Amino acid sequence: MAQSNLYSRVLGTGSYLPADRVTNQDLADRLAKQGVETSDEWIVARTGIHARHFAAADQTTSDLALFASNNAIEAAGVDPQSIDLIIVATSTPDFVFPSTACLLQNKLGIKNNGAAFDVQAVCSGFAYAVAIADSLIRSGAHRTALIVGAETFSRILDFNDRTTCVLFGDGAGAIVMQASDEPGVLASALHADGSYSDILCTPGNVNGGVVAGSAFLHMDGQAVFKLAVNVLEKVAVEALEKAQLTAEDIDWLIPHQANIRIMQSTCRKLRLPQERMVVTVGEHGNTSAASIPLALDVAVRDGRIKRGQNVLIEGVGGGFTWGASVFRY
Ligand code: UT7
């Protein structure tokens, strides 16, 4: 029987943004040609977003995930063949099936028959995936996990709907976690409330060879905003209490990067100085499940996040779902 492990620890991080960087002005110019009015001023004032990246026409979510994963594997210094668990958090998979995680395993050339599956919790997907991987590693069932958040949200955006199409971008972030005697993930908390499924959804499915319903993202922005501000504070406090820490013990807060106003409000409610929050929404837009690992990788690589520091990640998104994890980096 496999022996249980004390902790799962982050060994390395990686990320990838597609080459096509689209500024608010670029987007406003494109939209104006089809009679949709928006402006850099509106987008910056309401969201804090200045630019986002869009995948090339021939790039899929697993392609973005592959770049991010290779970066994370290199940073972790592990043999890819030792990775016995791959979890991809995504709402924009390459196919209905097989999972993006299985496609990624094949692209990485991993032949060890470890587990690979996708997690569908929209913008909370990465927080969900970290909590799942931590449980599977601590139970002794798996030893080395590749956890990825990867999205091509541009594919489900309705570019005639200015209330949503200016908000999202494409990208991928990844981490490698491994069993360890040293502290890693300290606590996690996950939640969902399906009664809010209609305020943020892409309500289409494949039926009889065609898409039935709508394959575009729909959002009631104000309803999502209110719920997000409320649950992000609660789930952060819950994860901190489980870890027997307070907000003062947190070196870095990495919230889901959807809207700077939601992020600043969460930071204020937790009484954390804004300088301790990692902010990438301005350059990435909302990349859904990719937003947290993208921000994590940016702050690790620019030297802000150091070994031994406590990091709090938290996500909120469609479902409705929300979750948080505290880990010692
Ligand atoms: O990733 C999952 C989590 N998602 C989120 O956290 C998103 C949460 N929601 C939000 O971030 C905000 O609600 C939005 C950024 C989506 C919208 O901001 P808001 O301050 O709630 O604006 P609003 O929806 O109240 O719209 C204000 C005005 C409206 O015009 P009127 O009715 O006041 O004349 C909109 O039609 O802004 C208009 N508007 C725009 N104007 C220019 C909406 N979108 C645009 C746009 N450009 N792109």
Q: Does the annotation count 165 as an active-site position?
A: no
Cα separation of 304 and 81, whole Å? 30
Query: Structure pTM?
Result: 0.97
Residue 2: is its pLDDT beyond 80? Answer: no
Q: What are 54's two structure tokens?
A: 């869009």
pLDDT digits (tens, 9 = 90+) for 201-212: 999 999 999 999
Q: Does the annotation count 191 as an active-site position?
A: no
Among protein residues, the one with the nearest Cα to ligand 1's atom 5 is 258
Mean pLDDT to the nearest integer, 40-60: 98
Residue pair 312/324 in contact (Cβ under 8 Å)? The answer is yes
Mean pLDDT to the nearest integer, 95-107: 98
Domains defined for the chain, CATH in brackets: 7-180 (3.40.47.10), 185-328 (3.40.47.10)
Residue pair 14/70 in contact (Cβ under 8 Å)? The answer is yes
Number of neighbours of residue 196 by Cβ within 10 angstroms: 17
Going by C-alpha positions, the residue among 275, 324, 278, 272 that lies closest to residue 300 is 278
Give just the sign of the alpha carbon dihedral 12, 13, 19, 23.
negative
Predicted confidence band of residue 229 (pLDDT cuts 50, 70, 90): very high
Per the prediction, the chain carries an average pLDDT of 97
Q: Does the annotation count 123 as an active-site position?
A: yes
Residue 1: is its pLDDT beyond 80? Answer: no
Residue 91: is its pLDDT beyond 60? Answer: yes
Pocket test for ligand 1, best of 24, 40, 46, 291 (most atoms within 8 A of CB): 46
Mean pLDDT to the nearest integer, 28-35: 97
Q: Which amino acid is at 277?
A: M
Residue 258, C-beta contacts closer than 8 angstroms, at least 6 positions apart: 47, 123, 167, 228, 281, 286, 291, 316
- 24 Cβ inside 6 Å of ligand 1: no
Residue 101, C-beta contacts closer than 8 angstroms, at least 6 positions apart: 86, 87, 88, 116, 117, 118, 148
Among protein residues, the one with the nearest Cα to ligand 1's atom 30 is 163
The pLDDT of residue 179 is 97
The pLDDT of residue 100 is 98
- 258 Cβ inside 6 Å of ligand 1: yes
- 159 Cβ inside 6 Å of ligand 1: no
The pLDDT of residue 4 is 78
Among protein residues, the one with the nearest Cα to ligand 1's atom 18 is 46
Place of tokens 């996040």: 305
> Which is catalytic among the residues 71, 256, 267, 310?
256
- 44 Cβ inside 6 Å of ligand 1: no
